Amino acid sequence: MATSFNDQFDQLGAWRREFALRLKLLAQWLKGNELLDSAVEERLRRLETQVRSDKVMVAFVAEFSRGKSEMINAIFFAGYGRRIMPASAGRTTMCPTEMGFDADTPPCLRLLPIETRLQPQALMEWRMVPEKWTRVDLDVNNAQHLAASLEKVAETLKVSQEQAHALGFWHDEHQEDNPVVDARGLVEIPKWRHALINIAHPLFKQGLVILDTPGLNAVGAEPELTVSLIPKAHAVVFILGADTGVTKSDLAIWREHLVCESDVADTRLVVLNKIDTLWDALSSPAQIAAQIERQQATAAEVLGIARERVIAVSAQKALVAKVTNDDGLLQLSCLPALENVLSNDMMGKRQKMLIAAMAVGIGDLRTETTRIINIRKRDITEQALELKGLQGKNTTVIRHMRARIVQEQADFDLGGVKIHAVRSVHLKLLREVFHILGSKNLKAEMSHLTNLLAQQGLKLGVRKAYGETFGRLRANLNKVQELCGEIESMLGATFRQLNGEFGFSLQVPAEPQMAPRLHDLDLAERSHIQYLSIGNAFKLAQPEFSNRLVRALSTRLRGIYEAALADIELWSKSAAAQLDAQLRERRRNFTRRIEAIDRIQQAAGGLTDRIRDLEQQSASLDQIDAKLMELTQYLMEPGEASAAVADDLH
């Protein structure tokens, strides 16, 4: 059993690299045996992309001064022997920060100026404009330089109250939450809107992404965080102070941005940090433990979560313990318990889901490839029976046989008109699906909501508009499901006709299900409902905020529709590839049969040689079939090394 989150994640990365390598070898083998049609190739490409680029995001969410940056230092950066993220007194992360790795970008820190909030572009759109970000190159081999560079995420600006209001840091209706006004009438706000840190940390290279979201103002003012990024996180760690318990602002973050339905509740983890503040020389260890236990139970009750989802730790003592190799202090800090939950519970579930998805994909790939092998086996068997029927026959019979095969080939070619008609109907129905799921139609469906949010002042009727918009989007997905059913029925009837007429073995793949996309829509709607409360009416009244909100929603909905389109495109390609493969194999079969007859006519003894050759081809196909089973079985059921990793992670 690995002892830390880092070790566990490292094993996960090793499994993914090995899987990707074996997938590449499978692709080469399929290509070498002429089994790589367009559908199989597409499935391989998607599987390789998924396993290589699959990201695991852990979001750390907390109000200021809860020790969040220290927690990140203790879990991920202790190997540097010092603090990397700013966590000392008076220095803390001021803007939402993403840490990950992109091999195409050199190690750097990119910072988006806070002034971009005054412009309508969403965060995802700003990512596409790198020249608008301030870039700082990082020396990842120099811990001191790295830490000094990353201190920029703690930088602030002094602005007027009017500027702070325009940027979302001053609220007339909640004066008590506003920043302090100095003697010059200025207030302090974050200098940066968002930060991206790209470094080749071992865990980041394997797909880990850390999202650091500081403070209620930073979370609430960026709709993309709560509408897109945080909901997509595979684990959300909400940090409280053991010395303060659940404060008013903590509760506001939880209720407005993190409370969730039961289906994703197991992705939420609450950490009661700074338990070392409760270590009292005048209290016995039992008394201290009882006090910590009471704090955990109270936090669980206030937040409405299971008691076991609240873990008490001391990030500061854990970092010191790791840097000084003090195992006793590390155990007292209780950080190993948190790492264990992150790795075994949350990351283990993610790994299990990835393995299951890979198994389904490989199973579909095997089915399609086996179908091609079986077509070739059947054609060889028919050829062998045909040639055996010629044994002992004279040249006239053989000549008649050749004429019959040529006629069959001509009749088959005439049947191409019918097959073309099938494709036309198929494409017509698909065009309707693509129209429904297209970006132009999505924009039209959102137009009423967009116009309503763009109005000045209080947005009356916005909740109703949200409900109606999501109702239409659900109706669209249900219509797509209905059309897919029509396509499946049409293809089923046509495939049965072609199977009977030409001896094909066509089988319509199961239609893609829109249920997962409808679930994604539900999650998107729930994450937006928080902005429709009376408490957020004044925030919605700000045109800049409303604009960011609708752009964030559009980005997320576009992602849902594109995922549905990708599923349908793969399904359609799989059905078309089956037909293409059987047409191709049948044409090859006609060519081989005619060539065999010609050779038999030209040489005595050619018939026996040809029958023996077909028997060898059949045996070779049996070997290919067995090899396919062997290669795909490993990918569907990981070998001993990979299974050990899976056992560790689950």
pLDDT band at 505 (very low <50, low <70, confident <90, very high): confident
Q: What's the pTM?
A: 0.73
Q: Is the pLDDT of residue 648 over 60?
A: no
In angstroms, the CA 490 to CA 564 distance is 21
Q: How far apart are the C-alpha atoms of 240 and 243, rounded to whole Å?
A: 9
Q: Which of these ranges, 96-105, 138-147, 357-366, 464-473, has the smallest mean pLDDT?
A: 357-366
Q: With the CA atoms of 231, 302, 280 and 68 taken in that order, what torsion angle do they form, in degrees rounded to the nearest 10?
A: 20
Q: Which of 297-311, 312-326, 475-489, 569-583 is predicted least confidently? A: 569-583
pLDDT exceeds cutoff 90 at 396: no
pLDDT, position 2? 38
Of 165-169, 299-303, 309-313, 628-632, give the lowest mean pLDDT range: 165-169
Burial class, 373, CB count within 10 angstroms (exposed 0-12 / middle 13-18 / buried 19+): middle
Tens digit of pLDDT for each residue in 218-262? 666 677 777 678 877 888 999 999 988 899 888 888 887 786 665
Mean per-residue pLDDT for 408-427? Answer: 78
Domain boundaries, the chain: 1-52+349-370+604-650, 55-155+191-333
Contact 346/265 with Cβ under 8 angstroms?
no
pLDDT confidence of residue 647: 45
Average pLDDT over residues 108-126: 88
pLDDT-above-70 percentage for the chain: 89
pLDDT value of position 91: 58
- Contact (CB, 8 A) for 530 and 536: yes
Give the distance between the most distant pair of CA atoms in the chain.
114
pLDDT band at 603 (very low <50, low <70, confident <90, very high): low
Q: Identify which of 228, 309, 208 has the alpha carbon closest to the alpha carbon of residue 265.
A: 309
Between 347 and 613, the more confident residue is 613
Alpha helices in 33-142 (DSSP H): 38-53, 68-76, 123-127
State pLDDT tens for residues 313-329.
Answer: 999 999 999 999 999 99
pLDDT of residue 219: 65
pLDDT at 376: 87
**pLDDT, averaged across the chain:** 83
Distance from C-alpha of 430 to C-alpha of 436, rounded to nearest angstrom: 10
pLDDT tens-digit readout, 545-555: 777 778 888 88
Interior/surface letters 464-492, b for 16+ CB within 10 angstroms, e for the rest: ebbeebbeebbebbeebbebbeebbeebe
The reported pLDDT for the residue numbered 325 is: 94
Q: Which pLDDT score is estimated for 264?
A: 63
CATH 3.40.50.300 fits 55-155+191-333, yes or no: yes
Lowest mean pLDDT among 57-71, 266-280, 519-533: 519-533
Q: How confident is the model at residue 600 (pLDDT cuts 50, 70, 90)?
A: confident
What is the mean predicted confidence (pLDDT) over 571-593?
A: 84
